[in-house]
Structures are given as structure tokens and as C-alpha cells.
């Protein structure tokens, strides 16, 4: 187990040099924000409990959400940089459900390109201080560019949402692309009466039929959704099942997801892709180019960095930049931009945000067993 306070002090001192204020975050947290916003991968690994009043609680599974909640509660103004260090608790397949993380959350910096560059560089510089001589490999993705490509293909909002939620999950994306490549088909398992109402586009009629059946079966009293909500969902599923991408559009999306290039070459590669595909994604590409320029200006070396169009991280709240630093195949740090999160958590105004976390157990292993 990671124990040494000296290592904690070393990390927080490095963060303080970068203008980050250390904050303490309680181990016991309200569960709902994590269950609602962190993503399926994290949701199924959270340790849940309850308060005496029945409120759903959890052991702290990560720091970003509670740091944001603290900022909203205290309202200290922005811009603000926060540093944290402590245990997180997740069910892990490789054993060890308690481990340490440290990181920085950068809230309210309106120069988003500079803030992104600072997050990438600060994480790399901290790792360089803790692991002198280690060769770091940096992988960047950009959910904003992916969303722009998906939107440009003209898919219904429901399909866009599905694809965006699957960003970074290669298996799920492949499955969705497989569904989009198939001819439309009716929903399976519908009886004749429901199918007829669906075919006629009679959503109110379907809601009335479901209401009648639910009352007759006794389901109405404990149903979590109303007949109207269920009918709307059936019509939405039918609409989505009838959508498919033509071969050209599907090839455009697959070509984009296959992009993997040195970061220095990525702006030109993306511009060439957009031009050949005939896509208008200029705003997303301008923001991407600005970030690369800011990274160069910050002094961050692009030599061991590459952009992978399909690269994402398994947390639903990311909105733009996502990145990881690794060495010898082990991811030591990761982060990204989460501009919508604070508003979803209750902030009254939009607060741009970006941050990163260090995996201290992996850093310990990379140090060759030094006790931390």
C-alpha cells in the first residue's frame, strides 16, 4: 500500500509550482453524481452504501466530480486551479480495489487552448520529475472533432448520441457501425396490434393501448415509466432502427476513426481528411490547431506524441481533448476537457474545465519499487 507522506508532499509541491491550490475531498461522497455522469465503466465498479436516512452514498471513485461540487458550493470565482491527492476506491479486475491518485483540475480558464496545453504539459513535467529519464509516449484524442464528423453525416440525434457515448470504446463503436451498415428492419418481438399502431405512426394510440394493458395486468401501480413515456421510447427505437448509413458515409466515418498520426502532422492530416470527405468541420479543426500551437508554445515536445482519432477515455463527462501519458505500455497519467460537467452539477454559468490525474501505484511500479 502507498504510505509515504513525503511522496504526497513532493507531488503537491510540484502542483503548487504550477499554481494549483491543494484541496481535501471527503472519502464518502453522494453517489448520484457519479452514477449519472461518470459513465458505465465507472458506474459498475463503484462501492455503494447508504446513509441512516437512506441516501445513496459511495466511496470516492475519482476526484473530478467532487472537486467540481466543492467549487460550486464555495463559489470562489474563476479561473481556479485545484490540486488533490488521495485514495480512490474502485472494483478492479487486476486486484487492489484501493489505490492513490493525484491531479489538477483547471476551472474557468477561458483560453481553452492554453489550458489544454497546460494540462498535457503539467502532467508530463510532473512525471518527468518523479521518473527522471523515463521516455513518455503521449496519445491525444478529441471528442469535439469526432462529434463534428458524426454531426456532418446527418444522422438523427439519437444515433449521434449513441456514437458519441461510445467514443473511445472500440468494441462498442464497431458494433454500432455494424448496425448502421445493415438495411433497416422492423423492431423484433412486437405483436400485431402494437406493430400496426407503430406502422400508422399513432403514438397516442400506442400509449392508450399500453395504458389499458398495464392496468389490466396490475403493472400500472409500480411502473417506473408512464405508458406515454414507453410509447415514445418505442417510436424512438423504431426510428433509430430504420436508419442506416450509405456505403460512402460509412466509409467516411471508418476512414476518420482509422486516423493515427504524429501529433505534429495531425492538423494537416485532419484538414486533408475533411477536404477529401467534403465535410464542413472547420470550427472543430480550428480549435484543434490552436491546441497544437499552444502545446508548441508551452515548450512541450511533440516528438513522442501522436493523435488517434478513435482514442477516448471511459468517462462520460469528457467533451473535447482527451490524453494519456504512458511508458513501457503502462498508462501513468490521463485527463481531458469537461466543459459541460459543472453546469450539469448545478453551476449557474458555464465554466470551461480541463484536468488530469496521475496513477501513483503505476508510477511506483515504474520507479522500480520505491516506497510511496
Which cell goes with 203?
403514438
Q: Burial code of 35-56, b = ≥16 C-beta within 10 A, e = fewer?
A: eebbbeebbeebeeeeeeeeee
Any known ligand binding at 82? no
Any known ligand binding at 62? yes
What is the helix (H) or strand (E) element at residue 30, kind and residue range?
strand 28-30
Which residues, in sequence order, are bridge partners of residue 142? 321
What is the helix (H) or strand (E) element at residue 157, kind and residue range?
helix 157-165
Orientation of helix 157-165 relative to helix 170-180, angle to 10°: 150
Any known ligand binding at 101? yes
Any known ligand binding at 105? yes
Give phi and psi for 170, each to the nearest 5: -60, -40
Any known ligand binding at 92? no
d(CA 226, CA 232): 10
Which cell goes with 364?
511506483
Any known ligand binding at 144? no
d(CA 351, CA 214): 44
The terminus-to-terminus CA distance of the chain in angstroms comes to: 8
Which cell goes with 167?
467514443
Any known ligand binding at 225? no
Q: Which residue is it, cell 479561473?
A: 79
Any known ligand binding at 53? no
Any known ligand binding at 10? no
Contacts 24+ apart (CB under 8 A), 276-282: 277/252, 279/148, 279/149, 279/152, 279/252, 280/152, 281/145, 281/148, 281/149, 281/152
Give phi and psi for 40, each to the nearest 5: -60, -40
Greatest Cα pair distance in the chain:
72
What is the helix (H) or strand (E) element at residue 87, kind and residue range?
strand 80-89
Residues making up the binding site for L-histidine: 62-64, 90, 101, 105, 308, 317-318
Residues making up the binding site: 62-64, 90, 101, 105, 308, 317-318
Amino acid at each position: 500500500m502507498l504510505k509515504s507522506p513525503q511522496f504526497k508532499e513532493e507531488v503537491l509541491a510540484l502542483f503548487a509550482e504550477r499554481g494549483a491550490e491543494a484541496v481535501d475531498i471527503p472519502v464518502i461522497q453522494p453517489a448520484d453524481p457519479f452514477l449519472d455522469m461518470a459513465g458505465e465503466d465507472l458506474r459498475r465498479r463503484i462501492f455503494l452504501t447508504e446513509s441512516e436516512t437512506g441516501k445513496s452514498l459511495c466511496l470516492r471513485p475519482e476526484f473530478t466530480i467532487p472537486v467540481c461540487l466543492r467549487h460550486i458550493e464555495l463559489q470562489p470565482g474563476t479561473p481556479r486551479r485545484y490540486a488533490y491527492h488521495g485514495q480512490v476506491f474502485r472494483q478492479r479486475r487486476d486486484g487492489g480495489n484501493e489505490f492513490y491518485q493525484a491531479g489538477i483540475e483547471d476551472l474557468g480558464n477561458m483560453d481553452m487552448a492554453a489550458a489544454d496545453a497546460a494540462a498535457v504539459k503539467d502532467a508530463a513535467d510532473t512525471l518527468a520529475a518523479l521518473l527522471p529519464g523515463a521516455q513518455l509516449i503521449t496519445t491525444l484524442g478529441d471528442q469535439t472533432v469526432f462529434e463534428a464528423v458524426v454531426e456532418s453525416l446527418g444522422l438523427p440525434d439519437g444515433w449521434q448520441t449513441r456514437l458519441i457515448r461510445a467514443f473511445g470504446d472500440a468494441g462498442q463503436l464497431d458494433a454500432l457501425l455494424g448496425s448502421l451498415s445493415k438495411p433497416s428492419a422492423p423492431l423484433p418481438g412486437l405483436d400485431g396490434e402494437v406493430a400496426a399502431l407503430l406502422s400508422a405512426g399513432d403514438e397516442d394510440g400506442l400509449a392508450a393501448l399500453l395504458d389499458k394493458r398495464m392496468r389490466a395486468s396490475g403493472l400500472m401501480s409500480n411502473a417506473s415509466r408512464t405508458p406515454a413515456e414507453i410509447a415514445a421510447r418505442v417510436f424512438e427505437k423504431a426510428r433509430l432502427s430504420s436508419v442506416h448509413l450509405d456505403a460512402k458515409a460509412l466509409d467516411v466515418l471508418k476512414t476518420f476513426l482509422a486516423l493515427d498520426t504524429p501529433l505534429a502532422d495531425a492538423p494537416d492530416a485532419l484538414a486533408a481528411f475533411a477536404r477529401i470527405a467534403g465535410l464542413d468541420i472547420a470550427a472543430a479543426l480550428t480549435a484543434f490547431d490552436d491546441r497544437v500551437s499552444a502545446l508548441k508554445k508551452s515548450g512541450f515536445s511533440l516528438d513522442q506524441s501522436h493523435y488517434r482519432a478513435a482514442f477516448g477515455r471511459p468517462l462520460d463527462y469528457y467533451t473535447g481533448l482527451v490524453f494519456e501519458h504512458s511508458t513501457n505500455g503502462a498508462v501513468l497519467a490521463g485527463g481531458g476537457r469537461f466543459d459541460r460537467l459543472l453546469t450539469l452539477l448545478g453551476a449557474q454559468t458555464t465554466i470551461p474545465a480541463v484536468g488530469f490525474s496521475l496513477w501513483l501505484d503505476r508510477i511506483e511500479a515504474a520507479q522500480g519499487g520505491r516506497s510511496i
